[in-house]
Amino acid sequence: MHQRPALRFDEWTRVKPVIGMLHLAPLPGSPQASQSLAAITERALSDAAALAAGGCHALMMENFGDVPFYPGRVPAVVVAAMTAIAAAVRRQTPLPLGINVLRNDGQSALAVAIGAGAEFIRVNVLSGARVTDQGLIQGIAHDLLRDKAQLGATGVRILADADVKHAAPLAARDLGDEVKDLLLRGLADAVIVSGSGTGQPVSIAKLKTVKEAAQGRPVLIGSGATAASLAELAPYADGFIVGTALKQDGISVNPVDPKRVREFMAAHLASCRAHSP
Q: Once rounded to an integer, what is the mean pLDDT over residues 102-120?
A: 97
The CA–CA distances, whole Å, from 155 to 67, 115, 158, 271 equal 30, 13, 10, 30
Please tell me the CATH superfamily of domain 11-274, with its number. Answer: Aldolase class I (3.20.20.70)
Long-range contacts from 33-41, C-beta under 8 angstroms, 24+ separation: 33/65, 37/81, 37/84, 37/85, 40/81, 40/85, 41/84, 41/85, 41/88
Residue 165's region, left for phi above 0, alpha for psi from -120 to 50, else beta, is beta
Comparison of pLDDT for 164 and 1, the residue scoring more:
164
Cβ atoms of 127 and 170 within 8 Å: the answer is no
pLDDT at 259: 97
pLDDT at 13 exceeding the cut of 80: no
User: Distance between CA 148 and CA 146 in Å, rounded?
Assistant: 5
Mean pLDDT of the chain: 93
Judged by average pLDDT, the poorest of 62-71, 117-126, 168-177 is: 168-177
**Phi, psi dihedral angles at 69 (to 5 degrees):** -75, 150
Identify the CA nearest to 255 among candidates 21, 94, 18. Answer: 21
pLDDT at 81: 98
pLDDT at 1: 40
pLDDT at 225 exceeding the cut of 50: yes
Amino acid at 214: A
Residue 247: band (very low, low, confident or very high) from pLDDT cuts 50, 70, 90? very high
Q: Once rounded to an integer, what is the mean pLDDT over residues 181-208?
A: 91
Cβ atoms of 228 and 180 within 8 Å: the answer is no
Radius of gyration of the chain (CA): 17
The CA–CA distances, whole Å, from 5 to 19, 150, 205 equal 14, 30, 34
Q: Once rounded to an integer, what is the mean pLDDT over residues 101-106?
A: 97
pTM of the model: 0.94
Residue 2: band (very low, low, confident or very high) from pLDDT cuts 50, 70, 90? very low
Residue 276: band (very low, low, confident or very high) from pLDDT cuts 50, 70, 90? low
Q: Which residues contact residue 53 at a Cβ distance below 8 angstroms, ignoring those fewer than 6 apart? A: 1, 2, 3, 258, 261
Q: Once rounded to an integer, what is the mean pLDDT over residues 142-160?
A: 97
pLDDT tens readout for residues 46-102: 999 999 999 999 999 999 999 999 999 999 999 999 999 999 999 999 999 999 999
Burial label for 263, CB within 10 Å (0-12, 13-18, 19+), is middle
Which sequence spans correspond to the domains of the chain?
11-274
pLDDT at 8: 76
- pLDDT above 90 covers what percent of the chain? 84
DSSP β-bridge partners for residue 157: 120
